[in-house]
Amino acid sequence: MFDYCARPELLKDRVILVTGAGRGIGAAAAKTYAAHGATVLLLGKTEANLTQVYDEIEAAGHPQPAVIPFNLETALPHQYDELAAMIETEFGHLDGLLHNASIIGPRTPIEQLSGENFMRVMQVNVNAMFMLTSTLLPLLKLSQDASVVFTSSSVGRKGRAYWGAYGVSKFATEGLMQTLADEVDTVAPVRSNSINPGATRTSMRAQAYPGENPLNNPTPEEIMPVYLYLMGPDSTGINGQAFNAQ
């Protein structure tokens, strides 16, 4: 496990947007960031799940989060512009962006992977991630010390059979992270890095490995040290790096 111990007020007064914040790793990250002082913007497609995370953060006495229902599969360019305008109006700037939302798609040989399924995975995992990054970058540049964290995978670092669209999308994730890192290096107070969560006890993992005992994998909460490290000031100057949570 990534070895890092965050101080309680690590993210005090920071505004951080988390995609896929309604469950799994996204929900854990949102609650963890809030517990360390951040105002968290909870973005996801299922409002009921986001509201539950919101209620848990409120009940714990942490800074009031914001719920942003947003469907990354169907969002049009003008909706990203409206999202950025809303964040600027309400919060003035953005200190962090965690790209966590993604879908796995069918695990099948490329020969049997339909174009429709391939494009759906790329829409959520790559196109939407690009749109969010490019649209929110001006708000991140208004921060004194901003961090963009991309969620990768071991199959986005070395290709493996039958991971098709998902694997390709994670290679694209690493590419976008590296490209952004090189662009902002020394010219903006923004850093860009990726995390491979590894085998974690989530519904996506269960979908990918139905025969596996989920209790053998750590919970999302247990892999949070690297998420805190990269989102807080202790990682200032770390840019363009690929991290493993485990």
Active site residues: 166
Find the angle CA(180)-CA(157)-CA(31) to the nearest 5 degrees: 65
What is the spatial distance between Cα 75 and Cα 84, in angstroms, rounded to a whole number? 13
* Residue written as token pair 């099948």: 108
With beta carbons less than 8 A apart as the criterion, state whether 92 and 100 touch. Answer: no
With beta carbons less than 8 A apart as the criterion, state whether 5 and 185 touch. Answer: no
Nearest to 6 by CA among 228, 240, 180, 242: 228
Q: Which two tokens stand for residue 231?
A: 């989102």
Which residues are bridge partners to 66 per DSSP? 41
